[in-house]
Amino acid sequence: MDSKNRIIEQLNRILKESQVLTDLEDRYVYSFEKIFLDQTYSKPDIIVRVSSLKEEKEVIELLEKENAILIKRGEEASSFNNKTSKVLILLDNVKIPKLENYSEKIGEKDDIITKFNELHIAGYGTYRNLALMVQNLLYGKTLNKCQQCITCSGYCTVSPSFNGVETWSSKGRMLIAKGIMNGELKFSDKIVDILYNCTKCGLCFAQCFQDLEFHEAILYLRHIMAEKSLVPQVFQTAANNIFENGDPSATPVTRRLSRIKNLSELDLPGKSDILCWLGCTVATRTPKTAEVFFKILNHVNVEFTMLGEQEGCCGYVLISSGLWEEATKVANEVIKRIEKTEAKTLITPCSGCYYTFTRLYPEILNLEIPCEILHTSQYIEKLLKEEKLKLKPLNLNITYHDPCSLGRHCKVYNAPRNVLKAIPNLNLIEMPLNKELARCCGGGGGLWTYNNQVSMESAYTRLKEDLISTNVNILTTACPLCQLNFRFASRMKFLSKNSIKIYDITEIIESAM
């Protein structure tokens, strides 16, 4: 047995196998450490990820006995003969940074946030423009700036679920994307896994610079994988379900609205100025959201219509998984169905549908919805401004979670807050990380479908790290997927003892009517 394999075998005895990294993808990502860029050292043979001083001590003692070369991450190494046959080990002992340690410093940089907003508003317009943007990102000097940064493992929603290994952070994904684009890496099962273990939340982008669109680059890479038939089977199945049932989870058309109470009492016209678009998750999994929104519309005597069982799926899961050709087919059918209603305004309680209609359709598929698109929070805010809706006092302490699709991706931060603040006696208490800096619930980007365990762990982190400290037990949000993920996560471990109540924002408004 050669010295490298002997060392790996011994390391696996004192550490978990996931802490001893020898795959090409890991060695590539960690080769961008400053010491390997500035000097002529070889790429590391092994990366060892330790999470305690005890583990670090045991590793160092072992490597000293084996006479291996040890370089600690972030430290300068003493010079050595690069032509030596000794095994080169990079010790990753960097603690996962706490996101809140950076939030105040970064949040004060108004110029960065302003440029961030302007970039999102401008959009990209076409597939080619997106490809050019990604190429500029991957080959630009800004990536070199982030290569030596270690904070991505703290910003990244899913990285903590992978023990802070840099390969599974936003920085690691970006370096892998660069390797793919310039031919240094080829798609492998592990690379596919890494690129789909991402919520596309944009939190890494929000924390850094206005021209680092990490989540857009990942979206582009997923599309390339789709062209190579490398999309995970779970998304292929979702696509088939959408074409067969109009729902990614295969809920039959006849059961789509079965959980919504009093639906048969609605006398809906075939055409109307206002179209209520529920979305798959609201229609099948959070029916209470639909019920209370109907109550609000009836309360203010607004005529509206729905597509009912024929509504189908907006195609978000197809776009986010890279299946853009399939998404285009779905989107064209959606637009035809919307056009038949002659609606001037489409209102949806689903932030994912809102994001899809307002940004993904025009920027990725080059398609436009033929009417105004409003999220329910925006429409309720409009009703309040026009004094068409009166609210009674609610003596509640409440906090609001910004969905990534509605917040960072579409810049809708004020409408939900304005609606809640319009309720007399209601006390809105913000979580430490909110708006641009809000931690992701873990449900977006297809992660809820692809790796539900990591998705749940992310939701648990949001509740444990940000909600519990507010001493508020009522959480409201404007996204059905966030609502579901938080409900499941709130039952985990000690959180169940805190009796956390999770509501859609429409439920709070309905209680105040």
Say if 233-383 and 391-511 have the same CATH topology: yes
Torsion from C-alpha of 151, 154, 155, 159, nearest 10 degrees: 120
Kindly give the pairing relationship between strand 501-504 and strand 474-477. parallel
- pLDDT, residue 116, reads 33
Name the β-bridge partners of 428.
398
- pLDDT, residue 117, reads 38
Would you kindly state where each structural domain of the chain is located, as residue ranges?
3-92, 100-227, 233-383, 391-511
- pLDDT, residue 155, reads 72
Residues with Cβ within 8 Å of 139's Cβ and at least 6 positions away in sequence, in order, are 178, 181, 182
pTM of structure: 0.90
Cα 394 to Cα 85: distance, rounded to the nearest angstrom:
72
Q: Do 324 and 364 contact (CB within 8 A), yes or no?
A: yes
- pLDDT, residue 113, reads 35
User: In the CATH scheme, what is the code of domain 3-92?
Assistant: 3.30.43.10
Encoded tokens for 414? 């004020």
Encoded tokens for 366? 């080059």
- pLDDT, residue 134, reads 61
Residue by residue, pLDDT tens for the chain (513 residues) are 688 999 999 999 999 999 999 999 999 998 887 777 665 567 889 999 998 999 999 999 999 998 888 888 876 655 555 556 788 899 998 887 776 655 444 444 433 333 333 333 344 445 555 556 566 656 554 556 555 566 566 678 899 999 989 999 888 888 898 889 888 999 999 999 999 999 999 887 655 554 556 778 888 899 999 999 999 999 999 999 999 999 999 999 999 999 999 888 888 999 999 999 999 999 999 999 999 999 999 999 999 999 999 999 999 999 999 999 999 999 999 999 999 999 999 999 999 999 999 999 999 999 999 999 999 999 999 999 999 999 999 999 999 999 999 999 999 999 999 999 999 999 999 999 999 889 999 999 999 999 999 999 999 999 999 998 899 989 999 999 999 999 999 887 656 556 889 999 999 999 999
Overall CATH class of domain 233-383: alpha beta
Gap between the terminal Cα atoms of the chain: 75
Fold type of domain 391-511: Rossmann fold (3.40.50)
- pLDDT, residue 121, reads 34
Q: Do 457 and 442 contact (CB within 8 A), yes or no?
A: yes
CA angle 377, 379, 384 (to 5 degrees): 95
